[in-house]
Structure 1
Amino acid sequence: MQEPQLSDQGVFETALDALMALDPRLVPLVEVAGRPALRRRPPGFAGLAAVVVAQQLSVASARAIHGRVEALLGGAPTVERLLAATPEALRGAGLSAPKIRTLTGIARALADGVVDLDAVARLPADEAADILTRLPGVGLWTADIYLLFCLGRGDAFPQGDLALQVAMGEAFELPGRCTPQGLLAIAEDWRPLRGVAAHLLWAYYGARRARQGAPA
């Protein structure tokens, strides 16, 4: 089986069926969470900027700040618009000082040709992630999320994601939160559909917390 390109919900639904056939242990997660919606963001700097904004924030907070950043810049973030904005204005939109440094550092690196995001999109996932981590402030989590959400890579898998670790621990009845290494080891059985499994685990995490009355 080849890694699917998660271009739309229909492709995702087919991949989800293939995943559950590959590992029937995941069927109960769908019974709890339902069939998750595909998460997509635009490729390029706009999508990468959205991923950076969302780091360590709730979905609601990230969406609110990103909306204010777009309002400030007059549209979706571009390298030129971001570099033209002052740190004070970006801070007023709700960005923290570290995220401002990361976004401006990425924008400058892209402007200088340190990384070509169009070229990255054509590379194998592991090589693409390695190149993305050359950008300022971009670690493996950010790289994997970009590959999954912005490029639709069906096997991208952010093992460092806390919600995935918690969801795996609960779904597989482990003693506690799954370690990143353990998460990666279990997910090996799901290649080349690990990104589809990540969507399901995120949905399961949210459904569990909604049932418990806690924010997802």
Structure 2
Amino acid sequence: MALLAGFGHPDQSADMSPESHTAPDFPHPPPTAMAALSTLTALDPAFGTILDRAGPLPWRRRTPGFPGLLQAIVAQMISNQAAAAIWGRLRAIPGALEPATLIELPDDTLRAAGLSRPKVIHARALAAAFLDGTLSADRIALLDDEAAIVTIGSIKGMGRWTAEIYLLFALDRLDIFPSGDIALAAALADLKSLPARPAPKALRELATAWQPVRSLAARLLWHHWRHVTGRPAMDDFKLV
């Protein structure tokens, strides 16, 4: 299948649009991605057109555990570009990606990196959850998708979108679709020429058609939206 050549590898550009930036090196997709692409395009041929227009799909990935969830907090309610800038400053603080160190950092230090006051509170709550054993990378990895979402969501500031982003990018779960994501709604409206951007509930219902490979549908829709808007793929999988 010709589309299988469209996944991003370290020697491929992540965006073929005229406005593209120099792409970072992205990791190889997992073997399951190839089968998922075949399944998805059979379910909905519209997804088969995205790679032809937007170029190879960069396989963005995040580190499991505390750093990946902290990064998801950083990304809440702001653009990818703003999140990448804040994350770069935060990870430059010695020990900030370790729960025991972050929880002791002064508020002013975290605020100087770009975290809002609520996100400082949420980052500390996340650190406390790892320190007291409420959360751990191993525990989350053993849970099924919905149980993991509920467990992560029990921590202050960690809603469903944050949990879904973590499962999708840090654990490579196959059937995750963050229906509350505005960019996904906008991308689908553009791809399908919908009269309006679907609301989260409607988007969630539409996405059921792409089970059991909704994670790839989400990745492709984000890729489509980056191409349409001329935004670069962000190098957000590198944490050190």
Q: TM-score, normalised by structure 1?
A: 0.88
- The 2-side partners of 1:132 and 1:8 are apart by 27
- The 1-side partners of 2:58 and 2:88 are apart by 21
Equivalent in the alignment of 1:184: 204
Paired residue for 2:77, among 56, 72, 80? Answer: 56
Q: 1:73, 1:82 within 8 Å by CA — same for their partners in 2? A: no
Residue identity in the other structure for 1:22: L
**Deviation at 1:80?**
0.9
Equivalent in the alignment of 1:43: 64
Residue identity in the other structure for 1:154: L
Paired residue for 2:92, among 71, 74, 83? Answer: 71
Equivalent in the alignment of 1:129: 149
Equivalent in the alignment of 2:166: 146
- The 1-side partners of 2:220 and 2:152 are apart by 25
Q: 1:35, 1:200 within 8 Å by CA — same for their partners in 2? A: no
Equivalent in the alignment of 1:197: 217
Structure 1 unaligned regions, length at least 5: 1-6
RMSD: 1.9
Q: 1:110, 1:116 within 8 Å by CA — same for their partners in 2? A: yes
Q: 1:73, 1:85 within 8 Å by CA — same for their partners in 2? A: no
Name which of structure 1's ranges 86-95 and 54-63 shifts more when overlaid on structure 2.
Answer: 54-63
Are residue 81 (structure 1) and residue 101 (structure 2) matched? yes
Alignment identity in percent?
Answer: 40
User: Aligned pair in 2 of structure 1 residues 156, 34: CA closer, same or farther (>3 Å)?
Assistant: same
Q: 2:66, 2:99 within 8 Å by CA — same for their partners in 1? A: yes
**Deviation at 1:97?**
0.7
User: Aligned pair in 2 of structure 1 residues 147, 182: CA closer, same or farther (>3 Å)?
Assistant: same
- The 2-side partners of 1:188 and 1:208 are apart by 24
Residue 174 of structure 2 aligns to a residue in which SS? coil
Residue identity in the other structure for 2:229: R
**Deviation at 1:160?**
0.2
How many residues are matched? 206
- The 1-side partners of 2:109 and 2:103 are apart by 11
Q: 1:41, 1:150 within 8 Å by CA — same for their partners in 2? A: yes
Residue identity in the other structure for 2:56: R
Structure 2 unaligned regions, length at least 5: 1-26, 234-240
**Deviation at 1:16?**
2.0
- The 1-side partners of 2:92 and 2:145 are apart by 33
